[in-house]
Amino acid sequence: MPMIKVHFLGAAGTVTGSKFYLETPEKNLMVDCGMFQGLKELRLKNWEPLPINPTRLDAVLLTHGHLDHTGYLPKLVKEGFRGTVHGTAPTLDITEIVLLDSAKIHEEEAQLANTEGYSKHDPALPLYTLKEAEFTLNLFKPQKRDVWHTLSENIKYRFRYNGHIIGATFIEINIYGKRFVFSGDIGRQEDLLLEPPERPKWADYLFMESTYGDKHHPEEDVETILIKLISKTIQQRGHLIILSFAVERLQSLMYLLWHLYKKNRIPNIPIYVDSPMGNNVLSVFERHQHWHRLPMNEYRAMCRHINIVQSYRETWQTIDDPRPKIIIAGSGMVTGGRVLTYLQQLIDRPSTTILLVGYMAEGTRGRKLLEGSNEIKIYGKLYPVKASIYHLESLSAHADQQELLHWLGKLRNIPESVFLVHGEPSDLNTFRAKLNNTFGWHVRVPQLNEALTLVV
């Protein structure tokens, strides 16, 4: 009987670095190829060679375009991968934006480390260069969703709509008659810009994300919270800095603020969006209108109302402008990008308000701000935190525990094995117990770099 070997090369026992390698008698596949973020011990793993031979890898299938699912691709190519990278068209568009932005940040941080001398490496080098990221784009192969695509005689796959961000999918792979389902990141039932996720009907082997496996998103009146923070900002003549993921959340926040203004619930306070990557993502919404529900007339009116920062010079003009203002800066988990310039200049001011949106992984600056840190380190220097810190969890793009269970509700069979991934230990263990109690399934929490052989 055919045997499939599954390697858990990332997002095992942690949230980031999603990489799942499948060895089969016909083809070798990888589902997602993400970069580790957060704790230093995890980030260092990005520099380590993978415990597989990338030259034997035939194809990478991407669930969606976030950095922790795609950011390792240029490194994989550096290690010898020359196969194809498959994803939906908007996923590959987002991945292109993310990889080029990531490469630019890696190059800039290496250059700054060498100039300032705060790295122990001499010279400090980028994980990969812009040229290497650009070469990786040549391997991209966009595919339609809801269509079975053949990789070999006994292996085929399809992408299914999953909410979360534009282009995101879960992936069903049929291997010798057994169905492997990789959930990717599952979106919300109610989302400003996206439809609810579709749901699988059959899974022999299920690889399930658990980001919010032990949590329920709070019932928050997001509009009222934003109105209060904006009023506070105007009264203090300060800055409201909203730190958001550049893909989906940033566009949702733009839409929210535009509607509040249109309904006369907030004054005409200047709003700036400073995220080169986020700006590029806006064009993906325009190109792939059937993947979201933002009307194009609303999209264009929103973009006219909001100031889109185009250059680093404009970033400094925005900081120096004394008027109260709202700044939406793409930052991931406050790990890099333009937002760091704003924090360097403004986080030590009591008149500054910082709003964190979405999930913040352990070890990131975002998590430290959430936990009340009195100072944060940026480019080797410590900055005191005197700004007010707030968190909006209900705008998360990830399904919570109840929504994860709902996503499983259409399965017609009992999976042979369920593997919980993409979660911190408490989330994974709580969700494992929940699945055991709810369905009585055999559930495992694999360890990083664990390899299992499945007989199909």
Question: In sequence order, what DSSP letters do the residues of 439-453 get, joined into one string?
Answer: H---EE-PPTT-EEE
| pLDDT tens per residue across span 107-121 | 988 888 888 777 677
Task: State how far the Cα of 345 lies from the Cα of 110, in Å rounded to an integer.
Answer: 21
Task: State how far the Cα of 326 lies from the Cα of 342, in Å rounded to an integer.
Answer: 12
The pLDDT value recorded for residue 332 is 67
Neighbours of 404 (CB within 10 A): 21
Q: What are phi and psi of 356, to 5 degrees?
A: -90, 135
Q: For Cα atoms 305, 311, 315, give the angle at the middle one, nearest 5 degrees.
A: 75
Q: Is 105 helix (H, G, I), strand (E, B) or coil?
A: helix
The pLDDT value recorded for residue 455 is 85
pTM: 0.91
The DSSP string of 127-156 is SS-HHHHHHHGGGEEE--TTS-EEEETTEE
In CATH terms, 222-392 corresponds, of 3.90.1720.10, 3.40.50.300, 3.30.300.20, 3.40.50.10890, to 3.40.50.10890
The pLDDT value recorded for residue 206 is 98
The pLDDT value recorded for residue 149 is 98
The pLDDT value recorded for residue 220 is 87
Contact (CB, 8 A) for 205 and 180 = yes
In CATH terms, 3-215+397-455 corresponds, of 3.40.50.720, 3.50.50.60, 3.40.640.10, 3.60.15.10, to 3.60.15.10
Please report how the helices 222-236 and 249-262 are oriented relative to each other, as an axis angle in degrees rounded to 10: 80
Q: What does the domain layout of the chain look like in residue ranges?
A: 3-215+397-455, 222-392
158 bridge partner residues: 172
Task: State how far the Cα of 20 lies from the Cα of 207, in Å rounded to an integer.
Answer: 9
The stretches in the chain having pLDDT less than 50 are none
The pLDDT value recorded for residue 326 is 97
The pLDDT value recorded for residue 91 is 98
Task: State how far the Cα of 110 lies from the Cα of 290, in Å rounded to an integer.
Answer: 40
Q: Is 251 helix (H, G, I), strand (E, B) or coil?
A: helix
The pLDDT value recorded for residue 363 is 84
The pLDDT value recorded for residue 244 is 83
